[in-house]
Amino acid sequence: MPCFEPFMKHSKNPALRESLYRSFIKRASEGDHDNTQVIEDIRKLRKEKAGLLGYDNFAALSLEMKMASNVDNVWKLINSLKDKSKIASEKEYSELQSFANENGFQGKLQLWDMAYWSERRREHLFKMNDEILRPYFPLPKVLHGLFNLTSFLFNVQIIPDFDESVETWHPDVKFFNINDENGNRVASFFLDPFSRPAEKRGGAWMDTCLDKSELLNQRPVAYLICNQSPPVDGRTSLMTFREVETLFHEFGHGLQHMLTKVPYASAAGIHNIEWDAVEFPSQFMENWVYDEDTMKLISGHYRTGEPLPRHLFDQLIKARKYMAGSGMLRQLYFSALDMELHTSTDSWQDVMNRVADEYTVIKPLQEDRFPCSFQHIFASGYAAGYYSYKWAEVMSADAFEAFEEVGLQNRDALAVTGLRFRNTVLALGGGTHPTEVFKQFRGREPSPDALLKSYGLS
């Protein structure tokens, strides 16, 4: 993927794009690495396992331990998003076809043309890129804004360990304490912000160092790990917008770990939370980077201190909705395919063809063998659970809408709503079923309306 996607977006040679695409869709389906029968064996064994435990199929077994609870609820989610996503996707394809034809492309767009022309149209519509935005996101400014937002919303204080009394594994690593409204320390976290390729994997993540335990008189401690470019020649570390978004995401995980009120380590913080609800707080925090007041907090040109200009912020908002229907429909295709593969006894080829007819605008090529490399459901924990991405996103958008409803500039009402979020979503951890947690915060079960609205699909 690190090579495939950039090539498909930027190669001007359609013949090479087609060649690479046709090879890519057949991976893990030929020769010594042919998974064609392997995935059928996995499906068979999973069905047998489910039967031994008294379930009709593996999906029913998997969902017994998830917030969705049953297959019908998953299909209800998928269907609630499908129709509007497909209508939008068909419109996006038509617009992309027109744009390509207007810019020298002849004929009908093929699957290997989509990424290339989508990127060209993105560049045409939005006159910005990472290097234009990066100067406005120096890491210290982003952190200062993130911590201020967190302190305001959840009535806590985030305080650096100025005494440097806690040992760290690298000079760049900083340690912070979180105090409650009474000044009592409730949690702490390590922040390791910079890339060190020789000793640190890429990406960003949050993990637990210590879990909350009243029995052990132990406060929670988290790790927050990033891979920003380190300062060079005295210039501060500058972040891409995607890195800012990711930082907010991982800090959302950290807040659920650190602000837990559950007294038992096995159910405190992020522990024991159902698979399809674990991304809820992290995706919720991402929404704040699209709030204008928050953007003023977290942005400031590294030379002048000027916040991100309004025209660039407006472009970010519009770019978020670009090809949103196609992106949503793609995720629903994967979710439906996963669910069908774990409920149907038909061959995976027949399942894929049936699902593709309903969830794609351009049908897959006959030689497409995508399930053979669908690692999420055959080699990790997302079997009969791929829908979890959209399930949590529905919750996060609905929760953020609670803040929008009271007014994002109404500080008193925001503080009240934020405290309710802290005392429910962030506090109750794995000790309360997430459906009940959401109801305590929102007063009802999640609705997909806010998610559709946020992407311009309502």
Q: For residues 390-403, b (16+ Cβ closer than 10 Å) or e, as one string?
A: bbbbbbbbbbbbbb
Rounded Cα gap, residues 40 and 108, in angstroms: 35
Q: Which of 86, 97, 91, 109 lies closest to 356, judged by CA?
A: 86
Phi, psi (degrees; rounded to nearest 5) at 304: -105, -20
119 has catalytic annotation: no
Q: What is the CA radius of gyration of the chain?
A: 23
Query: CA 133 from chain center: how many Å?
Result: 21
Catalytic residue among 92, 243, 250, 274: 250
Q: Is 68 within 8 Å of 438 (Cβ atoms)?
A: no
Tell me the C-alpha distance between 197 and 230, whole Å: 12
Residues 6+ apart with CB under 8 A from 38: 372, 378
The amino acid at 241: F
Q: How far apart are CA 281 and CA 249, in angstroms?
A: 8
Find, among 78, 77, 50, the residue nearest to 64 by Cα.
Answer: 50
Is residue 451 within 8 A of residue 81, CB to CB? The reply is yes
Given a contact cutoff of 8 angstroms between Cβ atoms, the answer to whether 394 and 448 are in contact is yes
Q: Rounded to whole angstroms, how far apart are CA atoms 247 and 142?
A: 9
The Cβ of residue 362 has, within 10 Å, a number of other Cβ atoms equal to 14
**Amino acid, res. 345:** T
**Which tokens belong to 384?**
């009969």
Which residue do the tokens 């057949």 mark? 26
Q: Is 71 strand, coil or helix?
A: helix
Query: Encoding tokens for residue 86?
Result: 């497909």
**424: which DSSP letter?**
I
Identity of the residue numbered 9: K
Q: Quote the DSSP letter at residue 60.
A: H
Q: Which residues are catalytic?
A: 250
